[in-house]
Amino acid sequence: MDEKHQYLFIDFEFTMPEGKYNPHGFYPEIIEVGLVAIVNQKITDQYSSYVKPTKFPKLTDRCKSFLSISQEQVNDGISFLELVSKLSQYEGSTPSTIVTWGNMDMKVLQHNCQSVGIPFPFKGKQRDLSMEYKRFFGDQNQTGLWKAVQEYGKEGTGKHHCALDDALTTFNIFKLVENDKRYLAKPEPTTIGDRVDFSKLLNKFAL
């Protein structure tokens, strides 16, 4: 991790259809954002908000049940245009590295921007931490966010499917994976104790 560079850990929650074809023409829209800004491995800012969907403003029962988000919460949320304006403010003069768990967050953001005809807010590199985790550990399948953190013997931050908590959990896994990468890249030099079996040596002198 570049100490002076800004990393943005982002998680979105999206609308969900009731069934395969209901509502007609459905596509996922962002209804909650969680963002954690990191410089030098320290949190410099965090942001969360509900977001009003544009195309399909009424949440399905399945969406409300799965995400524990109410219609009133999204009705009181910021508009999608306000969300994109807020996200673009984090870029500043230097593009940030965007880190997400999976590739859906940036795909949905890109599609939502195209749907309303506004520019994508990020210019920096995008990193899918779930794919890095999969490659690093040689897993055949992508691992869910909270399963991954539990495999490290830890627990996720707060509540799963709460956007800010998931963004914080993604940052925590990122730190663990980066530490493992550094450990493997720079193995500790062996000590004389590692090279010599002292029990055998002492037995030899005891004879």
Tell me which residues are annotated as active site: 13, 161
Q: Which long-range contacts (CB under 8 A, 24 or more apart) does 127-136 make?
A: 127/97, 127/98, 127/99, 127/100, 128/100, 128/101, 128/102, 128/103, 129/99, 129/100, 129/101, 129/170, 129/173, 129/174, 129/177, 130/101, 130/102, 131/103, 132/177, 133/173, 133/177, 136/177, 136/180, 136/181
Q: Cβ–Cβ contacts within 10 Å for residue 169, how many?
A: 26
197 three-state secondary structure:
coil
207 three-state secondary structure:
coil
